[in-house]
């Protein structure tokens, strides 16, 4: 029997309990886009809580507090500075040089998410108890099927599960949500990229112009009015990625760290 179209996210761990689904009848493009935006907000807010085994999260939050309220240009300069990199290096709990570098990349993404305003979507986080979870115990479970799009990202949590493993799954879910959202929201990412003037290699001297291009960007020609705020978020993510700043906890270095540190 074929599996009907759906998008489902459930999570249960301590006081955190989320259970939300979109059934086939409710899966308009607009509804899926709003679900993905809320999903991104939900998992992004939880990642720091699972990284305390490998880095000083409290110290990182204090570091973010040093530039609270900074404008975008100043925030970018702070995040790109060698001084900030050195401070991040002192906050990760890893002696191996290669593994340490991976964790610094993860910590940088977490710091970017704390420092840069405008990376969250306008939706509220997903609610708890909207549906019955598939798993009764501690878990994180995201599944989706819509046409050819099929995804399963899941972790069952027990006393042997490391927090960083959960963080990796959450980061993967977020990566999927933000990458699929433009398709369902009708956001022209190619148009935004062209308007910003983003390119593969950006020199330091070119960063201020990119920041200004983002700040003056009118997204109305690249997205429906309903998703204009989402297009602005996507544009900010694109800007940050182009200048070497991960707009949140990055999946690739976290995946490499999990694979190399515990095998």
| CA 146/CA 53 separation, integer angstroms | 36
Characterize 27-52 residue by residue with b for buried, 16 or more Cβ atoms within 10 angstroms of its Cβ, and e for exposed: beeeebbbbbbbbbbbbbebbbebbe
Return left, alpha or beta for 14; rule: phi > 0 is left, psi -120 to 50 is alpha, else beta: left
In-domain check, residue 225 = no
- Give the residues of the chain that fall short of pLDDT 50: none
In-domain check, residue 231 = no
In-domain check, residue 235 = no
**Model pLDDT, residue 51:** 97
Q: Which DSSP letter does residue 205 get?
A: G
| CA 152/CA 141 separation, integer angstroms | 8
Domain tally for the chain?
Answer: 1
Supply the range of the domain harboring residue 95.
Answer: 1-186+247-263
**Model pLDDT, residue 130:** 64
**Model pLDDT, residue 233:** 98
3-state SS track over 46-77: CHHHHCCCCECHHHHHHHHHCCCCCCHHHHHH
In-domain check, residue 1 = yes
**Model pLDDT, residue 200:** 75
In-domain check, residue 163 = yes
**Model pLDDT, residue 219:** 95
pLDDT tens per residue, range 24-35: 889 999 999 999
In-domain check, residue 217 = no
Nearest to 207 by CA among 68, 74, 83, 86: 74
**Model pLDDT, residue 193:** 94
Distances (CA, A) of 186 to 120, 166, 176: 18, 31, 16
In-domain check, residue 132 = yes
**Model pLDDT, residue 202:** 81
Nearest to 214 by CA among 222, 251, 185: 222
In-domain check, residue 153 = yes
């Amino acid at each position: 029997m074929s599996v009907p179209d759906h998008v489902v996210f459930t999570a249960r761990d301590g006081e955190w309990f989320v259970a939300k689904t979109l059934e086939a009848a409710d899966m308009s493009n607009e509804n899926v886009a709003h679900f993905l935006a809320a999903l991104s907000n939900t998992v992004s807010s939880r990642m720091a809580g699972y990284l305390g085994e490998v880095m000083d999260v409290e110290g990182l939050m204090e570091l973010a507090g040093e530039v609270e309220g900074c404008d975008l240009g100043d925030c970018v300069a702070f995040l790109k500075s060698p001084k900030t990199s050195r401070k991040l290096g002192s906050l990760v709990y890893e002696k191996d040089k290669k593994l340490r570098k991976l964790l610094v990349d993860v910590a940088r993404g977490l710091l970017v998410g704390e420092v840069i305003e405008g990376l969250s979507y306008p939706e509220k986080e997903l609610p708890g108890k909207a549906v019955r979870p598939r798993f009764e115990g501690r878990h994180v479970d995201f599944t989706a099927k819509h046409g050819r799009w099929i995804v399963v990202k899941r972790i069952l949590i027990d006393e042997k599960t490391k927090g960083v493993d959960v963080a990796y799954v959450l980061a993967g879910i977020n990566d999927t949500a933000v990458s699929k959202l433009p398709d369902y929201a009708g956001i022209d990412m190619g148009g935004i990229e062209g308007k910003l003037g983003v390119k593969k290699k950006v020199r330091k001297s070119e960063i201020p112009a990119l920041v200004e291009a983002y700040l003056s960007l009118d997204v109305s020609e690249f997205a429906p009015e309903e998703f204009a705020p989402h297009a602005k978020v996507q544009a900010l993510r694109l800007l940050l990625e182009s200048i070497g700043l991960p707009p949140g906890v990055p999946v690739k270095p976290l995946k490499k760290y999990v694979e190399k540190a515990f095998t």
